[in-house]
Amino acid sequence: MLLTDIAVEHTRVSKKDGVRQTYLLHPFTNTQRDTLGKFEIVRDISEPGFKEVKRSTFVTLQHLAELYAKGVLEEFGFSVRMCPGQGTYPTANPAKKILPTSIRPGSPFDLAVQKVDASKPANRELRTALLRTNVKL
């Protein structure tokens, strides 16, 4: 499933011939067993003495809305795995940082973000998912 309420333009330059292609990317849900119907969020982690690594976890639509409402994605530098709305992306689907301004105003996802009570703590499932990326809520 594509979350078309969020759209980001992405220009890819081919390393072989320098051809520029522009894609309109959207977050998408995974189709694998354990992560079926969940969105992948990715974060770069660097610890002293170790090289920088990427850590990812999968969250539901409601959790993604909660992360936007609480500003967690921006605060901790998360990116969301994206894919083009039409056609295919020639390499692995990119992860893009998505600002709240990329959410279509008045869309169902925007309304879901607005409904979140940011004063309530995150539920156990979301906290556990975020621990995989070294984030504690």
Q: Specify the 3-state DSSP secondary structure of 69.
A: helix
Asked whether residue 3 is domain-assigned, the answer is no
Asked whether residue 136 is domain-assigned, the answer is no
Asked whether residue 47 is domain-assigned, the answer is yes
Asked whether residue 126 is domain-assigned, the answer is yes
Cα distances from 116 to residues 42, 53, 86, 121, 131, in angstroms, run 22, 31, 31, 11, 21
Q: Which two tokens stand for residue 6?
A: 């969020």
Q: What's the mean per-residue pLDDT of the chain?
A: 91
Where in the sequence is the domain holding 39, given as residue range(s)?
Answer: 8-131
Q: Which two tokens stand for residue 40?
A: 């992948």
Amino acid at the residue 10? H
| Confidence at residue 89, expressed as pLDDT on a 0 to 100 scale | 87
Question: Quick check: 39 and 81 in contact, CB under 8 A?
Answer: yes
Asked whether residue 137 is domain-assigned, the answer is no
pLDDT over threshold 80, residue 47: no
Specify which of 25-39, 62-76, 89-103 reaches the highest per-range mean pLDDT: 62-76
Number of domains in the chain: 1
Asked whether residue 1 is domain-assigned, the answer is no
Q: What is d(CA 108, CA 113) in angstroms, rounded to the nearest whole number?
A: 9
Asked whether residue 32 is domain-assigned, the answer is yes
